Amino acid sequence: MKCPTCNKEVYFAERMVSNGKDYHRACHKCKRCGKTLAAGNGSEHQGNLYCPNPCYAALFGPGGFRAGAGTAGSAKYD
Ligand SMILES: [Zn+2]
Ligand SMILES: [Zn+2]
């Protein structure tokens, strides 16, 4: 089986299974921050791997970025 990240054959010694695919240990990392991910700990999005937190959540999670200052309510007048 080929590693989805680099498209090279994965051998048993360097194999890391995630999302039902075989990755090289070194290739099983977050595309956004570069952090190496534990087996089964990668979140996949369109063939790319991300760490579940904070990268995947920030990029694709519900809500994404925290909303800044309140847009409604709590208007304050001095
Ligand atoms: Zn690879
Ligand atoms: Zn990350």
For residue 2, the model assigns a pLDDT of: 94
pLDDT in tens, 9-35: 999 999 998 888 999 999 999 999 999
Tokens of 2: 């080929």
How many Å lie between the centroid of ligand 2 and the Cα of residue 34? 6
Cβ-based neighbours of 33, under 8 Å, separated by 6 or more: 51, 55
pLDDT in tens, 36-71: 999 888 898 988 999 999 999 999 987 655 544 444
Residue 41 near residue 52 (C-beta atoms within 8 A): yes
Q: What is the C-alpha radius of gyration for the chain, rounded to an integer number of angstroms?
A: 18
How many Å lie between the centroid of ligand 1 and the Cα of residue 17? 12
Cβ-based neighbours of 27, under 8 Å, separated by 6 or more: 3, 5, 6, 16
List the domains of the chain with CATH numbers: 12-60 (2.10.110.10)
For residue 73, the model assigns a pLDDT of: 45
Please report which ligand is nearest the Cα atom of 42.
2
74: confidence class by pLDDT, cuts 50, 70, 90: very low
